[in-house]
Structure 1
């Protein structure tokens, strides 16, 4: 019996024909392959430069020997249906994009959508800050300057006592504020209030994280994102590669001479025609599979190719 590895591979990768959902579990059980392995091999064969990639297991080979030779074309057709259904599913599309992003990553932080969202967030934050300033002005307007000066004097004394409990950075920053505020205590109440409110506002501005400017670093990051995203997009559509894989198989299968004669050569058989001995492994692969299954595979490949054009 000719190699079932070839049979399965042609059905799995080369033909990739239509799926009848009710048959999927049956045909996979018939050939002894799990759905996870099939999905892995489909993805691998679609992206690998050498697209005949398949590792059969002892279970698959054992199951294959039980298949009558007459059932091979039907098995190829059923496998092809399974593969096409998977490739045309949203699940495959998502897995393909995940795989592409693994090899062609990009930082979504600098996507147009995220940049627009960040801009909106910055505007909202700035509006909230402006509202706080307006509320501060309104609150201080109602305070008596003399009472305010007295309250701040007591507050500063308490804050000086608490400096030792702060870490070095906080202590430096707070000491600077206390020193500036204490200088104002000798001013007349009205002037004190005016300058102290100005000091508080300046502190608020210093602590407020303003929206980041469009710095050179930002520009470089955006340019890098666009370059990486363009590279990702170039690989995100698998259909051109799928069309090439199908056409490659059609061309290859059309070139196989299934009537080629074999002659004994030591412990194995070789082609009588020396030209066939130099054929690539894929050509010999399909020869071992046999005319009927390959014809079935080619028909499915041609139909799928027609559909995606």
Structure 2
């Protein structure tokens, strides 16, 4: 039984799962929940990785006949496919998409705007004209330095022009505002504070709305990448096949500082999946690759 469990761990890992085996499921030694959760987490990862297995588990797998290893991979793969094709998986995936990449209302509510304005009025209540005068001058100077670069706009790459143009327009408004209110520092500081608070509030509101716009744009792009579980799965299968191809199971190793290293430096530079497949041997590796290739073919045919 111990050897069977170790074999199945390896088999399922080669199918991109890395779950713990228990005695709950008579044939596989796993629960349905284990399969579902680990397959789910595999799809969420943006890359295929090699799982950790103890040396005893690897040794136990090698001691089992190749025919049994290949059969275990096939059975584990079929269990995964069964969940992938279920309505539970489809519902879960669609719910995850909706929660992960929402499209939010980009206009700040009137209630929130009022709250921001009240906060700004409270924040500047203790300001005095003497302290504000150098701040106003700095704002004007900084804004003018940015607007002075407007001639550089045409020399920028097209994808950077819109953002830089917006910065210039914002700087122009900032300069115009502070030049307008600067005389109030001496003539009517209360009026200055009122207008300054309104300016800060409007700036925060505008930034919040711009952030929502950017967030919606990013979510839309992410949603487009993840909206098709078939394409996501196909990408994982393709990556596994690419990383696990051409494994030289006869490659020589040597001891270096109590660790096994490949004699061939090119092999030592291989990815972790390739090395993992080398360690567990040809039978489960070839079975997993055949299963992955067949599933990938089915996905492409159904597209």
TM-score where L is the length of structure 2: 0.50
**Higher RCO (Cα < 8 Å, 6 or more apart):** 1
- The answer to whether residue 19 in structure 2 is matched with residue 28 in structure 1 is no
2:227 is aligned to 236
Partner of 1:91: 88
Tell me: CA distance 1:7–1:92, structure 2 relative to 1, closer, same or farther (3 Å).
same
Q: Secondary structure at the match of 1:100?
A: helix
| Residues in 1 aligned to 2:216 and 2:294: alpha-carbon distance in whole angstroms | 37
Cα pair distance change 1:106/1:37, threshold 3 Å: farther
| Alpha carbons 1:45, 1:52 under 8 Å: kept | no
Q: CA deviation at 1:90?
A: 1.4
Q: Give the whole-Å Cα distance in 2 for the aligned partners of 1:277 and 1:42.
A: 29
Counterparts in 2 of 1:155-166, with a 5 A limit? none
Write the distance in 2 (CA, Å) between the matches of 1:54 and 1:92. 23
1:68 matched residue in structure 2 = 64
Q: Of the two, which has the highest radius of gyration?
A: 1
Query: What's the counterpart of residue 47 of structure 2?
Result: 50
Aligned-partner SS, 1:270: strand
Check 1:306–1:9 CA distance in 2 against 1; reply closer, same or farther (3 A cut): same
Report if aligned partners of 1:243, 1:308 keep a CA contact under 8 Å in 2: yes
After TM superposition, the score normalised by the length of structure 1 is: 0.49
Alignment RMSD (CA, Å): 4.0
Contact 1:246 1:302 in 2 (8 A): yes
Matching of residues 274-293 of structure 1 within 5 Å: 274-293=265-284
Q: Which residue of the partner structure matches residue 14 of structure 2?
A: 10
Please point out which of 250, 264, 273 is paired with 1:273: 264
User: What is the CA–CA distance in structure 1 between the aligned matches of 2:25 and 2:267, rounded to whole Å?
Assistant: 38
- CA deviations on 1:238-296 (whole Å, 9 max, x unpaired) are 11111111112222222211111122334332211121111121111111121111111
Within a 5 Å distance, the mapping from 1:1-309 to structure 2 comes to 5-13=9-17, 25-29=25-29, 33-52=30-49, 54=51, 68-70=64-66, 71-106=68-103, 230-231=220-221, 233-234=223-224, 235-309=226-300
**Does structure 1 retain, via aligned residues, the 8 Å contact 2:97–2:223?**
no
Task: Encode CA deviations 1:20-57: one digit per residue, 9 max, x unaligned.
Answer: xxxx944431xxx3322221111111121232265679
Q: CA separation of 1:101/1:257 partners in 2, compared to 1, >3 Å: closer, same or farther? A: same
Shift of 1:237: 1.1
Cα pair distance change 1:94/1:231, threshold 3 Å: farther
- Residue of structure 2 in register with 1:177 after alignment: none
For residues 282 and 28 of structure 1, the distance between their equivalents in structure 2, rounded to whole angstroms, comes to 23
Structure 2 stretches of 5 or more lacking a match?
Answer: 19-23, 106-209
Q: Provide the C-alpha distance between the structure 2 equivalents of 1:67 and 1:47, rounded to a whole number of angstroms.
A: 33
